[in-house]
A = this chain, B = another copy of it.
């Protein structure tokens, strides 16, 4: 048995699941099914087939989210690698391969996207063992899923029959049109390309060097220049120069070492609201109703009410997603167009694309609950033991009122300890720092008053999280 290192790529934006999924809190971090997020389920699933802690690659913006979700399920990591920008899968896997080789020159990477749904962990582990075994012998192994419908949204893998383990890939084929998808389904010789792989770290780097030397050398340089910052690994600047290519395009479609394991387990890439409806529990009217929903004569619909009452009357096959700052009402067969809406919000520079109203920070979170012409009200949560940066604002004063837990407040030269129902005033221009010295979550209400209330009116003097702005 070789060293099997899970590699979880948590870099996606999950655009098609807006308004639940946001740039700063995308799909993989949401608990769409049950208590765990897709990322957490993926980490637990991977551990069933692995011999080490995972390598996780994610966007720099998501590092504290990933760390928090790992801690919540008791999963440690071998390395948490931060991409300064997404460069697609080929460079990310190469980065992880260098790290895996430090563990074992024969290490096999078990590469899993963080946002797929695979409910049967045992069946997954069984298939993974077959894939790892072929990878150990130098094959680059993908997981192929037996098609159940003429899906036009996936790439396909052509095979010449299936063995019990990995078999050579005949060819990779692009997303087909409907007629071709039906042919593939009927022929029995095509599998869906699931985007999961077992790869010998050394074999992968060798093939990448041969087929895409510019990716291989950029990543190699970035790995060498990389640095550890708190719990995180940051690759060197060269990473940004690696061509942005997928493993399929850069390696799998060109190598003669491609194999595939046909898997028997249920798999869903949860790529749209209709996919979520497919996988969710439903009542006798075919509805999945989550939250405070009053549905009258509603059928085959998905309704998620996160913040307030949602009532539906006389509608069928719709998706209604209600969040604190946005509501989506879409025909279920048109949910792919959510992407178009998000594109429009992005080009309009709107916040509803980037973040939820609750914004997560290493020390906790904040949410704007009210804003007016020259004031803003936020609910701030600070984790036990956590501390915000020592900071100062040029354009606003702040009133803090503790509503739960205990706060330690540095303001100018003074240190104050505040408990529930106590408040303090932070004048404009004062150096101040907020900490939670206690064992319970600290919650406070902040009322900001001033002529400019943007997040960028902040001067940071010291920050335990290494942030300068």
> Which A residues fall within an 8 A CB radius of B?
19, 294, 296-297, 305, 308-315, 318, 320, 322, 324-331, 333-335, 337-338, 340-341, 344-345, 350, 352, 369-370, 372-375, 377, 379, 397, 399, 401, 403-404, 420-421, 423, 425, 443, 445, 447, 449-450
B308 to A325, Cβ gap below 8 A? Answer: yes
Q: Provided the pairs A341-B294, A372-B443 are in contact, do residues A313 and B329 lie with their beta carbons within 8 angstroms?
A: yes
- 19 A-B pairs within 8 Å (CB atoms) are namely A19-B309, A296-B341, A310-B327, A311-B329, A312-B330, A315-B331, A329-B329, A369-B377, A370-B377, A372-B379, A372-B404, A377-B379, A377-B445, A401-B447, A403-B449, A421-B449, A421-B450, A423-B425, A423-B447
The listed residue with most B CB atoms (<10 A of its CB), out of A308, A312, A425, A443, is: A308
A310 to B294, Cβ gap below 8 A? Answer: no
A327 to B311, Cβ gap below 8 A? Answer: yes
The interface residues of chain B lying within 8 Å CB-to-CB of A423 are: 399, 423, 425, 447
B328 to A311, Cβ gap below 8 A? Answer: yes
A369 to B370, Cβ gap below 8 A? Answer: yes
- Bound form: Cα–Cα A375–B446 in Å: 13
Q: Top 6 A-B pairs ranked by shortest CB distance?
A: A314-B334, A314-B331, A375-B403, A313-B330, A369-B370, A421-B449
B296 to A340, Cβ gap below 8 A? Answer: yes
Q: Provided the pairs A443-B372, A449-B401 are in contact, do residues A314 and B330 lie with their beta carbons within 8 angstroms?
A: yes
The interface residues of chain B lying within 8 Å CB-to-CB of A373 are: 404
User: Nearest B residue to A367 by beta-carbon distance?
Assistant: B370
A334 to B297, Cβ gap below 8 A? Answer: yes
Q: Provided the pairs A296-B340, A375-B404 are in contact, do residues A327 and B308 lie with their beta carbons within 8 angstroms?
A: yes
A310 to B329, Cβ gap below 8 A? Answer: yes
- Bound form: Cα–Cα A252–B266 in Å: 70
B331 to A322, Cβ gap below 8 A? Answer: no
Q: Provided the pairs A377-B369, A449-B401 are in contact, do residues A329 and B320 lie with their beta carbons within 8 angstroms?
A: yes
B313 to A322, Cβ gap below 8 A? Answer: no
User: Nearest B residue to A448 by beta-carbon distance?
Assistant: B403
A313 to B297, Cβ gap below 8 A? Answer: no
The listed residue with most B CB atoms (<10 A of its CB), out of A309, A333, A420, A425, is: A309
The interface residues of chain B lying within 8 Å CB-to-CB of A425 are: 423
B296 to A313, Cβ gap below 8 A? Answer: no
Q: Provided the pairs A314-B333, A337-B314, A403-B372 are in contact, do residues A326 and B309 lie with their beta carbons within 8 angstroms?
A: yes
The interface residues of chain B lying within 8 Å CB-to-CB of A313 are: 328-331, 334-335, 337-338, 340-341
- Bound form: Cα–Cα A199–B397 in Å: 62
What is the CB-to-nearest-CB distance from A167 to chain B, in angstroms, rounded to a whole number?
41
User: Nearest B residue to A18 by beta-carbon distance?
Assistant: B311
A296 to B377, Cβ gap below 8 A? Answer: no
- Bound form: Cα–Cα A375–B308 in Å: 19
The interface residues of chain B lying within 8 Å CB-to-CB of A314 are: 330-331, 333-334, 337
The interface residues of chain B lying within 8 Å CB-to-CB of A401 are: 399, 447, 449
- Bound form: Cα–Cα A296–B334 in Å: 10
